[in-house]
Chain A
Amino acid sequence: MKPIIRLFLLNALAFCLVLAVLSPVSASADGLRANSPSSSKTREAAFNPGVWLLKLYRNTISSVDSDRCPSFPSCSQYSLDAFRKHGFFTGWVMTVDRLLHEGKEETSVSPMVYSGGRWKIYDPVENNDFWWYHPPKSKDHD
């Protein structure tokens, strides 16, 4: 491989890493604005590579693949929610967590719901960030 191409690819990788590191900062900043009406629009407007990749996956692979996810919401939807709620890096880590724990053993600690004609494990993002994420308090009630 030519040195120039190698350099280009390494730079691209470094850029991805920087994005990954910076994304939690933007996510927490969004969290602070969560009560403002424009916060959801801001989150949607900000470019999130995780959301982009997920949409690509859902529009190409998932649309022709059958629904085999044993959990509700599906893993791709969960991942999308996690990326939107916590930014790229944390969303990525939570997606990995979901892929690891979506098996039968999860039924011992999570409830079941009937969806799409069968019983599924109810495992939304809130079920996996409850021990560290607390929604911002409203000033009116302090």
Chain B
Amino acid sequence: MTRRLSENVHLLRYPHPSSLRRTSMYASFLRISDALHLSIFQQPPMNPVFRQAPRVLWILPALVFISFLLPSPGLASRIVINSEDQYNFALKMMEKGEYLIAVGEFERFIQFFPHDRKIPEANFLIGVCYLKAKDYENARNVLQGTHSKYPDTEVGGKALFWIGESYFRQRAFSEAERYFASVVEHYDLPQLKNGALYRLAWARMHSRKWKEASQTFKKIDKESDLYPSAQELAEKSLSGEDLAYKNPNTAGIMAALLPGLGHAYCRRYRDGLMAFVVNGLFIWASVESFHEGHEVLGGMLTFLELGWYAGNIYSAVNCAHKYNRHKKNEFLKNLPDRLNLHLFTTGSKSMGFALRINF
């Protein structure tokens, strides 16, 4: 018995029905294989309804699993954001320098909490965010809207101040002056007024109105943190009058009298030489053309020379203006600007901007 089993051990792995039928182990093997797997030799007869059951059993858990993956308000935990959280998140984005995201968050705050007491501040901060993102046109639109909506409030004053600041940053100093002067005139809040006076004086210095700037600095209150700096600047700004400027009119007249002379007046000798040579060549060529009887060629050269001549005058005047601007900027660079604008993001009852003194 043992020998026969060892000889036919492969039949246990790969049994052949015909051979198994001939062995006495067949019945016992069938019992074992039935226990292990029903379908080795033949499928047992199944009820059609029962045949569908396993498929159904797989589909149901799959559906349950998918339902977990889908966003389901019924199953997800509900998040409630109050107005304070939303506002603080927007401020956080602003502090991180993500200004356009902050704009979106402030707008979300306005959309979902339209009756909150911080709505004016949120409107104002949207404008400031645009300004910090250097989108000046949008900034001014928003700030102007805020100012129009809340004209007699602190936020309205701040909005007007920041419109001026936007022009100041774009170096449109005459426009900036107009807005800062308006803040000084219409708002009596000490911090806001002193800040506007300080910026107004700076705008006047950029416009080379040195005496006016000095007088404006002197108007800053003694109680203000800016007072010491303002006193210093009131004196120093007067030195701007003594800077060695070049007169653009003189440069233009000199260039008209002799091409290149205006450049030399502005200490640009190479450019002056170039202007002299080019204009001289064109004038000489034009005269020679007319002298030789080539009127058309002479006319064309004269036409081109007119361009060079006009360009020479323009260039001399331009050089004088650029020289003066450079001198002024070098002078202003050495003056201390103690005004730094920082929005408070803590929700305290502040002015909305801080004045920081740098020593």
Contacts and interface: CB of A to CB of B under 8 A. Distances in A.
Contact of B303 (A1, A17, A137): A17
Interface string A81-107: 000000000001111110111011100
B296 to A, nearest CB: 5
Given A103-B271, A140-B144, A97 B323 contact: no
A81 to B, nearest CB: 15
Given A105-B270, A131-B318, A96 B140 contact: no
B312 interface: yes
Contacts of A10: 296, 299
B102 interface: no
Contact of B325 (A9, A17, A109, A137): A109
A95 B311 contact: yes
Given A100-B274, A109-B325, A13 B303 contact: yes
Contacts of A130: 321, 325
B300 A92 contact: no
B311 to A, nearest CB: 2
A6 B296 contact: yes
A62 interface: no
Contact of B311 (A93, A109, A127, A134): A93
Interface bracket on A: 20 to 34
Contacts of A68: none
Nearest to A123: B322
Interface string A1-40: 1000010011001001100000000000000000000000
Contacts of B269: 105
Interface residues of B, number: 35
Contacts of A101: 263, 268, 271, 315, 318-319
A10 B302 CA distance: 13
Given A16-B303, A17-B303, A96-B308, A128 B318 contact: yes
A115 interface: no
Nearest to A104: B270
Contact of B322 (A95, A96, A103, A110): A110
A69 to B, nearest CB: 15
A81 B220 CA distance: 44
B307 A96 contact: yes
A16 B304 CA distance: 11
List 8 tightest A-B contacts by C-beta distance, closest first: A96-B311, A97-B315, A131-B321, A109-B326, A109-B322, A105-B268, A100-B315, A9-B296
Given A1-B296, A140-B141, 4 more contacts: A9-B299, A93-B314, A109-B323, A138-B137
Interface of A: 1, 6, 9-10, 13, 16-17, 92-97, 99-101, 103-105, 108-110, 127-128, 130-131, 134-135, 137-138, 140-141
27 contacts: A1-B296, A9-B296, A10-B299, A16-B303, A17-B303, A92-B307, A94-B311, A95-B311, A97-B315, A99-B311, A100-B274, A100-B275, A101-B263, A101-B268, A101-B318, A103-B270, A109-B325, A109-B326, A128-B322, A130-B325, A131-B321, A131-B325, A138-B137, A138-B140, A140-B140, A141-B140, A141-B163
